[in-house]
């Protein structure tokens, strides 16, 4: 019999952890052929994109090459963008790969599968707000984070000349006070201090004006209220102008207009509000939600095809009490673990297990200034509130857990040592 093939589309946190597990368990033993498909050649942990955007994290040092990683962990990598799905013949089509001059480097290809896993994550949702797509930065990919970083550096340089300043202070507007918006707001003050210390700009953090705009009655609306109050207080201490109950109705090259007719003028505009799955998922012939998430049952199988699975932010997975799995990195991590077991079971004809999300708490980093978090305490779901150095330690451990899942304990330990050395050998932020 031919070796079964499992194709995973999307090499984000969940997708890469899944193929690593499957490669170790099935690929190396020749029990299945594991194929990862992603449009990018490298992986970087999405919760760190706000650090890439401010230059605090050098993506060139922390990104993982899919090609190199696949060779070491028992799976194959195919670069490409999913463009079509044929469920009858069990094949997916990848769009052609083009170079910078729009010349075809690799033509469209078909890849057959026995089991297909969609792990395409999510993107920001601008809700069709006029002007947002044209005038705002998004932080959904490393490329977008790098684009913001270049624009940020150029804006700081421009403000070094008093005659070229559009406002008394360099002004950044961020729409969306979820984790990304909150962490970016804090990182900007850290970045401005470092740029000033390196002599990159004459501006220090006192000449930076950051507006964090949230339509809900409080920031971090998806997290416990005490959590949001503490973070709100810390942001205001940094100097962030927090606008709650403020809905943006349009964006232009000069900033934002709110529902009450007020204008917030900016030099840099960022949209970090709302999430949705990639729109093309609703064109594959599978049942989806209004936000394009694929509808799956508790075993993470599509409602329409038992050989197609979806998990992470691109999937709408039911939970007890008519709830849905929240779009969080820890959920994707837990689902990847169950998915590896369920795919192994499916190959052997065994029943699959249901996914039940276990909330381990939430952590928010406010750059080097502080961190705030809540840790869930056992089955009682009572939370332990932490902040300061202890919260920073737990926050850093989240990334190390991801690294351990994709690299193993030994390599992760070595990476920790190298990262410590780089703090002394390299600038504290990427300046070019």
Return the CA Rg of the chain.
22
- The pLDDT confidence band at residue 379, using thresholds 50, 70 and 90, is very low
Tokens representing residue 403 in the block: 């690294």
Can you give the pLDDT at residue 102?
Answer: 87
- The pLDDT confidence band at residue 421, using thresholds 50, 70 and 90, is confident
Residues 193 and 207: beta-carbon distance below 8 Å: no
Compute the average pLDDT of residues 226-233.
88
- Percentage of the chain beyond pLDDT 70 is 96
- Give the number of other CB atoms < 10 A from CB of residue 75: 27
| Integer CA distances (angstroms), 191 to 162, 205, 251, 369, 388, in order | 20, 8, 25, 12, 20
- Give the number of other CB atoms < 10 A from CB of residue 307: 13
Q: Is the pTM of this model over 0.75?
A: yes
Closest CA to 86 of 278, 286, 280: 286
The CATH number corresponding to 142-274 among 3.40.50.2300, 3.40.50.880, 1.10.443.10, 3.50.50.60 equals 3.50.50.60
User: Is the per-residue pLDDT at 392 higher than 70?
Assistant: yes
Between 341 and 61, name the one with better pLDDT: 341
Can you give the pLDDT at residue 321?
Answer: 86
Q: Please give the order of strands across the beta sheet that includes 263-265.
A: 248-252, 255-258, 263-265
Among left, alpha and beta (phi > 0; psi -120 to 50; other), residue 328 is beta
Residues 270 and 148: beta-carbon distance below 8 Å: yes
Residues 159 and 207: beta-carbon distance below 8 Å: yes
Can you give the pLDDT at residue 167?
Answer: 84
Compute the average pLDDT of residues 68-75.
96
- The pLDDT confidence band at residue 360, using thresholds 50, 70 and 90, is confident
Can you give the pLDDT at residue 359?
Answer: 87
pLDDT (tens digit per residue) in 2-55: 899 999 999 999 999 999 999 999 999 999 999 999 999 999 999 889 999 998
* Per-domain boundaries in the chain: 5-122+277-347, 142-274, 361-425
pLDDT (tens digit per residue) in 97-106: 988 888 999 9
User: Is the per-residue pLDDT at 376 higher than 90?
Assistant: no
Can you give the pLDDT at residue 165?
Answer: 83
E-state strands within 40-150: 42-43, 64-65, 76-79, 82-86, 91-94, 97-98, 104-106, 109-112, 115-118, 123-124
- The pLDDT confidence band at residue 1, using thresholds 50, 70 and 90, is low
Compute the average pLDDT of residues 390-403.
85
Tokens representing residue 421 in the block: 């050395």
Give the phi and the psi of residue 144 in degrees, each rounded to 5.
Answer: -70, -40
pLDDT (tens digit per residue) in 327-355: 888 999 999 999 999 999 999 999 999 99
Q: What is the DSSP letter of 39?
A: S
- Half-sphere exposure (CA, 13 Å, Cβ side) for 290? 2
Tokens representing residue 237 in the block: 């201490």
Please provide the DSSP assignment of 209-269 as one string. Answer: EEEEE-SSSSSSTTS-HHHHHHHHHHHHHHT-EEE-S--EEEEETTEEEETTS-EEE-SEE
Instruction: Determine the distance from the C-alpha atom of residue 423 to the mean position of all C-alpha atoms in its chain, rounded to a whole number.
Output: 24
Mean pLDDT of the chain: 91
Among left, alpha and beta (phi > 0; psi -120 to 50; other), residue 113 is beta
- What's the CA dihedral at 249, 250, 256, 262 to 10 degrees? -50
- Half-sphere exposure (CA, 13 Å, Cβ side) for 307? 17
pLDDT (tens digit per residue) in 106-160: 999 999 999 999 999 999 999 999 999 999 999 999 999 999 999 999 999 888 8
pLDDT (tens digit per residue) in 194-225: 888 888 887 777 789 999 999 999 999 988 88
- The pLDDT confidence band at residue 380, using thresholds 50, 70 and 90, is very low
- The pLDDT confidence band at residue 95, using thresholds 50, 70 and 90, is very high
Long-range contacts of 249-257 (CB under 8 A, 24+ apart): 249/129, 249/130, 250/129, 250/130, 250/131, 250/132, 251/129, 251/130, 251/131, 251/132, 251/134, 251/135, 251/136, 252/131, 252/135, 253/135, 255/171, 255/173, 256/173, 256/175, 256/213
- Identical fold for domains 5-122+277-347 and 142-274, yes or no, is yes
Can you give the pLDDT at residue 68?
Answer: 96
Among left, alpha and beta (phi > 0; psi -120 to 50; other), residue 189 is alpha
Tokens representing residue 1 in the block: 């019999």
| Integer CA distances (angstroms), 321 to 182, 318, 325, 356, in order | 30, 9, 11, 12
Distance in angstroms (rounded) separating the CA atoms of residues 235 and 69: 39
Compute the average pLDDT of residues 58-82.
92
- Percentage of the chain beyond pLDDT 90 is 70
Can you give the pLDDT at residue 200?
Answer: 83
User: Is the per-residue pLDDT at 377 higher than 70?
Assistant: no
Distance in angstroms (rounded) separating the CA atoms of residues 35 and 415: 26
CATH topology of domain 5-122+277-347: FAD/NAD(P)-binding domain (3.50.50)
User: Is the per-residue pLDDT at 177 higher than 80?
Assistant: yes
| Integer CA distances (angstroms), 254 to 90, 184, 267, in order | 49, 20, 7
Residues 182 and 142: beta-carbon distance below 8 Å: no
Distance in angstroms (rounded) separating the CA atoms of residues 370 and 373: 10
- Ranges 29-43, 51-65, 233-247: which has the least confidence: 51-65
């Amino acid at each position: 019999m031919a070796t079964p093939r499992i194709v995973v589309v999307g090499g984000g946190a969940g997708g890469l952890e899944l193929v690593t597990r499957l490669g170790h368990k099935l690929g190396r033993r020749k029990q299945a052929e594991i194929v990862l498909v992603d449009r990018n050649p490298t992986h970087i942990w999405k919760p760190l994109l706000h650090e890439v955007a401010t230059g605090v994290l050098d993506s060139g040092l922390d990104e993982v090459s899919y090609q190199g990683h696949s060779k070491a962990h028992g799976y194959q990598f195919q670069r490409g963008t999913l463009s079509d799905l044929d469920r009858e013949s069990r094949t997916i089509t990848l769009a052609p790969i083009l170079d910078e001059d729009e010349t075809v480097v690799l033509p469209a290809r078909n890849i057959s599968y026995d089991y297909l896993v969609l792990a395409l994550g999510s993107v920001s949702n601008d809700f069709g707000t006029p002007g947002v797509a044209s005038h705002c930065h998004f932080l959904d990919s490393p490329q977008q984070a790098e684009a913001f970083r270049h624009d940020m550096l150029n804006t700081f340089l421009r403000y070094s000349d008093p005659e070229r300043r559009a406002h008394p202070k360099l002004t950044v507007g961020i729409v969306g006070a979820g984790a990304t918006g909150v962490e970016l707001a804090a990182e900007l003050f850290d970045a401005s201090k470092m740029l000033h210390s390196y002599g990159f700009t004459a501006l220090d953090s006192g000449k930076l004006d950051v507006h964090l705009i949230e339509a809900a009655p409080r920031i971090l609306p998806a997290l416990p209220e005490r959590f949001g109050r503490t973070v709100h207080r810390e942001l205001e201490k940094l100097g962030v102008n927090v606008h709650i109950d403020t809905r943006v109705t349009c964006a232009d090259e000069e900033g934002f207009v709110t529902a009450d007719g007020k204008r917030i003028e900016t030099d840099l505009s960022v949209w970090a509000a709302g999430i949705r799955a990639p729109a093309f998922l609703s064109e594959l012939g599978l049942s989806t939600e209004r936000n394009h998430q694929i509808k799956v049952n508790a075993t993470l199988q599509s409602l329409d095809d038992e050989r197609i699975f979806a998990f992470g932010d691109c999937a709408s997975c039911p939970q007890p009490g008519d709830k849905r799995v929240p779009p969080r990195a820890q959920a994707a991590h837990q689902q990847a673990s169950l998915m590896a077991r369920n795919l192994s079971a499916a190959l052997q004809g065994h029943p699959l297990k249901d996914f039940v999300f276990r909330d381990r708490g939430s952590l928010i980093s406010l750059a080097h200034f502080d961190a705030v978090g809540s840790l869930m305490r056992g089955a009682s779901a009572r939370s332990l509130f932490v902040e300061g150095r202890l919260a920073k330690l737990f926050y850093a451990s989240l990334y190390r857990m991801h690294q351990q899942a994709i690299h193993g304990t030994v390599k992760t330990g070595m990476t920790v040592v190298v990262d410590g050395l780089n703090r002394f050998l390299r600038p504290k932020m990427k300046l070019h």
